[in-house]
Amino acid sequence: MLWKTVRDQGRRPTCTAMAVSDVHTASHNSIEPLSAEALIKYGGLRMGAGFLGALSMAAAESSVELDGQPSEVAWPYNKMLDSLAASGLPHWHGNMVRKNATLLSDISGLVATGHPVILVVRLTDEFFYLKYPFVIHGGSSGHALHAMVASGLGIFGEGNEVLLVRNSWGLGWGDSGYCWIDADYLSKNLVEWATIESKSQGEIL
């Protein structure tokens, strides 16, 4: 799985849209990113009047399948506020499969076969003070929810398996936008995870 660059959500609460868009992009075997802005717009409409910018996983699931996403080039992201799109864009669709929190082995099996996984986790303080070697351990339980993408596997220390995680805080965070998290962290802080299978592409809305 390849992406051109790490996303940067800026000041907007759009981590779910970023993570879902990256995994949806990968499901179509494309390095051309799908539009997070479109997902925010369509998913926000599904959430109704109470939508304040933070997309729920349920809304993202429905939107990916029913609304689809155009390319990021056609409908770009604005780090400060939402942006408008031209009409008549090709849209790509997918089926999201959501799971309750489980073991690292369930997730790593998918990642090992080239299927990135959306992780919804509780953030711990380590995320805000991350330094080399960019490994986040499960020393404590976190607080605010955050969505990221598990995109690779590694070994740290005395043979401990860790997940390579892609964040949406830009290239200046972590190791060029990535970090590692271990099984202990996931056991305390993983809320849910999801994968996406490609469904259709190129439909004009």
Where do the domains of the chain lie? Answer: 15-98, 99-193
Cβ atoms of 156 and 128 within 8 Å: the answer is no
Give the integer Cα–Cα distance in Å for 121 and 169.
15
In the 8-state DSSP scheme, what is residue 175? Answer: B
Could you give phi then psi for residue 100, rounded to 5 degrees? -75, 165
Per DSSP, the three-state class of 1 is coil
Query: Among 1.20.272.10, 3.30.300.30, 3.90.70.10, 3.40.50.300, what is the CATH number of 99-193?
Result: 3.90.70.10
Question: Could you list the mean pLDDT of each consecutive 10-residue stretch along the chain, which spans 205 residues?
Answer: 86 96 94 93 92 93 95 90 71 91 80 94 92 87 91 87 95 97 89 91 59
Per DSSP, the three-state class of 41 is helix
Q: Which pLDDT score is estimated for 204?
A: 55
Largest alpha-carbon pair distance within the chain? Answer: 54
Report the predicted TM-score, pTM, of the whole model to 2 decimal places. Answer: 0.93
Task: Enumerate the H helices of 134-190 as residue ranges.
Answer: 183-189
